[in-house]
């Protein structure tokens, strides 16, 4: 998804207090204490305001629906950074302020997979062609130095034009250079999968951008070339939109792949390919289509330009250039493809890419934090971290060495994510599963106890769809699971992870706030319906309101969204929620000229925190009031209510936990923009008993009365910019709570009457 930059200089906006500008995390954490007498106007014993209407919230205290340990389940993330920034951020003071948001464990995000790069997690290692410093690189598993930085190496044989990580990338299939070529991943061939290549067909796709009349294709093959292949055209909406899209009118997912299909051209099936330049007249009459696909099922297995000394050089398929258009009766080929070595080329997509590269491919513009720096700077919060291994553009040996290195260092690794956003790289589920098995075998050979998971879906809202297979199955995850099961490797899947970016940054609006719990439920339900065993945990390992910047990310809206997103995730059976990112960064322009930032902080050009965002304050309430870290398991209970607007939207949502210290805590979200809402709370026990808060109750509230985002270009800021308001109040049966408009509230205290 969209990643983060820490570049341009910012000045302190007018109207921001010196206290806020200084970025004192301890000061921001302090809350304004309201007197008991004043607080009684908000929570009374039901006498002074008994005439006011209140809605009853019923906590189903007789049955927990989930349980979780915040030290394993509520965390944050660190992504790639620029080289100058990484020199600034890992200071004790910055790490201390980042941790002040209250999140527990950390997950390391690997950006190289998004940029179609090989990742040298350790710059020390060996090349398969050591004399020429090229080929396939394997990092050294022996700790012989301190890894401060790690970089990506853009793959020279990539076939996909656009990617999620580097706008400057381009594919080799239409770059106009006859000396470059795309090559598929050799680890998806029989040599490594031990099954027929036809079970892992590789493909390339041309997007002509608009419908064109096509009756011919020309392919300049490299070696290994395809002996058997088929040229197809697409009929339907969009074959590359792999996620089911939300349809507001229907309230369900629209599967664009299921509504279309790939069709073979009348003369598009080739069973005796001979490499070289092949010009195919696909049909007598041109077919009008936008999308073309070449599906390859049998390789020549001939060595390519890199020689015959490595089996990987002859495994798979390679193409130098591809042309599409019309073959005239006189033999003239009219090419409609734009060939250019940049993003203006006719877009292409491919099923996989060979991880072959050389030392000359190094990209020093983006820095992945070094493994030793990551584990020693304090950012892990002294908790086991989630660590990625590169899978899509790497080798099993390299991944195994990485995890072995961390073990030898004695670093605490809780989970290992296998690859990054395979759906965003258009990898077929069976192909990813085949790689998953090879990498799992290699890792477990060196570190048997490693807990592996994936597939790290990108920003999904519902099930991820893919073109139908021979059995008409379109669920990406369902087919991935079936492959693991049929190959007796389902036990290698210790957890399932995905990213959560639910809303479009340029169209997000207040009504989307009502959708968040349903979006979360649909997403988690889809995994289980696809066949994921109940004992395999589901983890949201990267999340934000939108995948690119929008001023909603710094508006109070984001605070309410975060509370609902966390609460509904655990209510729907989730196991770990990581809010992204942990680091501070400056404001940047987003949609509709709104300026915003990701996450918890607004920073100046030197990354010094000058304001805390609405999400920071809500995060602290979640981590310090609703739950408590370093104490163990919390039990989550369902809350039944009916506070709806005329359209049926739930205006108040609630999530109840029983903490290890015996306190009950309710996370309450008033999503009404204009009105405060009064509620009563009852705890309904297993034997028909009804309990109520008793004695002193802690009440913490944060909303539009404390925080308002002012849009002013690069000087955008929050004003007022106050921390949550806290009070201690006495409660009893029939007590009523006033939830301010547009606010998040946590009530915490003891409950009587359930024993």
Residue by residue, DSSP assigns 252-289 as: EEE-TTTT-EEEEEEEEEESS---SEEEEE--SS-EEE
Highest mean pLDDT among 16-20, 25-29, 416-420, 691-695: 416-420
Q: C-alpha angle with apex 510: 506 to 516, nearest 5 degrees?
A: 90
Using 50, 70 and 90 to split pLDDT, how confident is the model at 566? Answer: very high
Q: Nearest-CA neighbor of 424 among 4, 3, 121?
A: 3
Quote the pLDDT of residue 51.
40
Mean local confidence (pLDDT), 623-628: 97
pLDDT tens per residue, range 701-743: 999 999 999 999 999 999 999 999 999 988 777 788 999 999 9
pLDDT at 493 over 90: yes
Q: What is the pTM of this model?
A: 0.92
Q: Across residues 521-526, what is the average pLDDT?
A: 94
Question: Residue 313 has which token pair?
Answer: 């050089």
Q: What are the structure tokens assigned to 500, written together?
A: 């959560």
Nearest CA among 126, 259, 58, 183 for reference residue 685: 58
Question: 3-class SS at 101?
Answer: coil
Tell me what pLDDT residue 255 has: 55
116 CB-side CA count, 13 A: 31
Q: Residues 749, 698: contact at Cβ < 8 Å?
A: yes
Mean pLDDT calculated for residue range 1-29 = 33
pLDDT tops 70 at residue 308: yes
Mean pLDDT of the chain: 90
Q: Which residues contact 542 (CB under 8 A, 6 or more apart)?
A: 1, 77, 107, 109, 499, 500, 578, 580
Instruction: Quick: pLDDT tens for 638-676.
Output: 999 877 888 888 999 999 999 999 999 999 999 999 999
Average pLDDT over residues 225-246: 84
- Which pair of tokens denotes residue 508? 């997000």
Assign 162 a pLDDT band (cuts: 50, 70, 90): confident
Please answer whether residues 462 and 451 qualify as being in contact, where contact means their C-beta atoms are separated by less than 8 angstroms.
no
Task: Give dist(CA 489, CA 54) in Å, integer.
Answer: 54
Give the range among 24-33, 575-584, 675-684 with minimum mean pLDDT. Answer: 24-33
Locate the domains of the chain by residue range: 119-154, 182-354
pLDDT value at residue 368: 95
- Rounded to 5 degrees, φ, ψ at 132 are -105, 5
Rounded CA-CA distance 652/650 in Å is: 6
Nearest one of 52, 6, 49, 10 to 604, comparing CA atoms: 10
Tokens linked to 325: 């258009």
pLDDT tens string 96-109 = 999 999 999 999 99
- What pLDDT does residue 167 have? 66
Tens digit of each residue's pLDDT (9 = 90 or more) over 316-351 = 999 999 999 999 999 999 999 999 999 899 999 999
Q: Are 623 and 381 in contact (CB under 8 A)?
A: no
Is residue 690 left, alpha or beta, with left meaning phi > 0 and alpha meaning psi from -120 to 50?
A: beta
Name the DSSP letter for residue 312.
Answer: G
Beta carbons of 214 and 325 less than 8 angstroms apart: yes
* Ramachandran sector of residue 632 (left: φ over 0; alpha: ψ -120 to 50; beta: rest): left
Q: Indicate whether 582 pLDDT > 90.
A: yes
Q: Confidence class of residue 463 from pLDDT cuts 50, 70 and 90? A: confident
* Per-residue pLDDT, 647: 85
Q: For residue 672, which of 50, 55, 29, 59 has the smallest C-alpha distance?
A: 55
- Is the CA virtual torsion 189, 193, 195, 200 positive or negative? negative
First to last CA, the chain: 49
Q: Does 5 score more than 80 pLDDT?
A: no
Q: Is the CATH number of domain 182-354 2.60.120.260?
A: yes
pLDDT-derived band at 29 (thresholds 50, 70, 90) equals very low
Residues 6+ apart with CB under 8 A from 290: 207, 208, 209, 210, 211, 212, 234
Peptide bond into 214 cis (omega under 30): no
pLDDT for 564 equals: 98
Torsion of CA 406, 103, 512, 675, to 10 degrees: 180
Kindly state the percentage of the chain with pLDDT values over 70: 90
Encode pLDDT of 247-260 as tens digits: 444 334 455 666 78
Question: In this structure, are residues 361 and 197 in contact, taking their beta carbons and an 8 Å threshold?
Answer: no
Mean pLDDT for the stretch of residues 673-692: 91
């Amino acid at each position: 998804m969209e990643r983060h930059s820490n570049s341009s200089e910012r000045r302190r906006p007018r109207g921001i207090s010196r206290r806020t500008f200084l970025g004192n995390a301890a000061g921001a954490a302090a809350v304004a204490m309201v007197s008991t007498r004043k607080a009684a106007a908000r929570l009374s014993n039901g006498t002074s305001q008994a005439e006011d209407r209140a809605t009853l919230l019923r906590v189903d205290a007789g049955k927990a629906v989930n349980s979780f340990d915040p030290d394993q389940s509520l965390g944050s993330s660190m992504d790639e950074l620029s080289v100058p920034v990484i020199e600034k951020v890992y200071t004790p003071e910055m790490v201390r302020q980042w941790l002040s948001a209250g999140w527990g464990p950390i997950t390391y995000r690997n950006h190289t997979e998004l940029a179609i790069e090989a990742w040298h997690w350790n710059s020390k290692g060996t090349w398969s062609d050591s004399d020429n410093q090229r080929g396939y690189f394997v990092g050294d598993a022996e700790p012989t130095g301190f890894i401060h930085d790690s970089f990506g190496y853009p793959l020279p044989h990539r076939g996909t034009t656009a990617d999620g990580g580097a706008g400057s990338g381009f594919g080799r299939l239409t770059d106009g250079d006859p000396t470059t070529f795309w090559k598929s991943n050799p680890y998806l061939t029989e040599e490594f999968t031990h099954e027929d290549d036809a079970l892992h067909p590789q493909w390339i796709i041309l997007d002509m951008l608009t419908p064109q009349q096509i009756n011919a294709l020309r392919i300049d093959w490299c070696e290994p070339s395809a002996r058997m292949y088929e040229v197809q055209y697409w009929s339907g909406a969009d074959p590359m939109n792999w996620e089911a899209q939300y349809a507001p009118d229907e309230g369900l997912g629209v599967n664009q792949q299921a509504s279309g299909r790939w069709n073979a051209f009348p003369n598009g099936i080739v069973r005796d390919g001979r490499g070289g330049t092949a010009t195919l007249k696909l049909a007598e009459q041109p077919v009008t289509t936008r999308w073309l696909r070449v599906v390859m099922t049998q390789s020549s297995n001939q060595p390519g330009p890199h020689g015959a000394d490595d089996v990987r050089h002859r495994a798979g398929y390679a193409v130098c250039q591809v042309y599409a258009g019309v073959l005239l009766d006189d033999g003239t080929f009219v090419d409609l493809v734009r060939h250019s070595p940049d993003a203006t080329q006719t877009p292409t997509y491919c099923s996989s890419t060979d991880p072959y590269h050389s030392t000359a491919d190094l990209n020093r513009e983006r820095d992945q934090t070094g493994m030793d720096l990551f584990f020693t700077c304090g950012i892990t919060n002294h908790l086991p971290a989630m660590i990625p291994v590169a899978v899509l553009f790497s080798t099993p040996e390299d991944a195994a060495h990485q995890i072995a290195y961390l073990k030898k260092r004695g670093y605490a690794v809780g989970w290992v994510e296998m690859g990054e956003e395979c759906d965003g790289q258009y990898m077929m589920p069976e192909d990813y599963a085949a790689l998953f098995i090879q990498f799992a075998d290699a890792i477990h050979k060196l570190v048997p106890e490693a807990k592996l998971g994936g597939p790290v879906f990108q920003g999904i809202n519902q099930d991820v769809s893919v073109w139908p297979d021979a059995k008409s199955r379109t669920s990406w995850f369902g087919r991935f699971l079936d492959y693991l099961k049929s190959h007796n490797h389902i036990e290698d899947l210790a957890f399932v992870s995905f990213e959560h970016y639910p809303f479009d940054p340029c169209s997000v609006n207040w009504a989307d706030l009502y959708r968040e719990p349903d979006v979360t439920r649909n997403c988690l339900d889809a995994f289980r319906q696809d066949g994921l065993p109940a004992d395999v945990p589901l983890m949201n390992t990267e999340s934000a309101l939108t995948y690119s910047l929008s001023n909603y990310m710094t508006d109070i809206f984001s605070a309410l969204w975060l509370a609902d997103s966390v609460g509904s995730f655990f209510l729907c059976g989730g196991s770990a929620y990581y809010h992204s990112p942990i680091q501070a960064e400056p404001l940047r322009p987003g949609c509709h000229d709104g300026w915003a930032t990701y996450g918890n902080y607004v920073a100046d050009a030197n990354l010094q925190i000058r304001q805390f965002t609405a999400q920071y304050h809500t995060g602290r309430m979640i981590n310090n009031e609703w739950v408590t870290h370093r104490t163990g398991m919390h039990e989550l209970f369902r809350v039944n209510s009916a506070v709806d607007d005329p359209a049926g939207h739930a205006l108040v949502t609630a999530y109840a936990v029983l903490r290890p210290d015996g306190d009950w805590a309710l996370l309450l979200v008033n999503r009404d923009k204009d009105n405060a809402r009064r509620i009563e709370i009852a705890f309904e026990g297993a034997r028909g008993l009804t309990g109520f808060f008793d004695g002193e109750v802690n009440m913490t509230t944060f909303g539009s009365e404390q925080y308002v985002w002012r849009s002013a270009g690069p000087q955008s800021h929050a004003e007022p910019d106050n921390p949550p308001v806290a009070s201690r109040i006495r409660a009893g049966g029939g007590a009523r709570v006033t939830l301010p408009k547009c606010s998040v509230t946590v009530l915490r205290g003891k409950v009587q009457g359930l024993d």
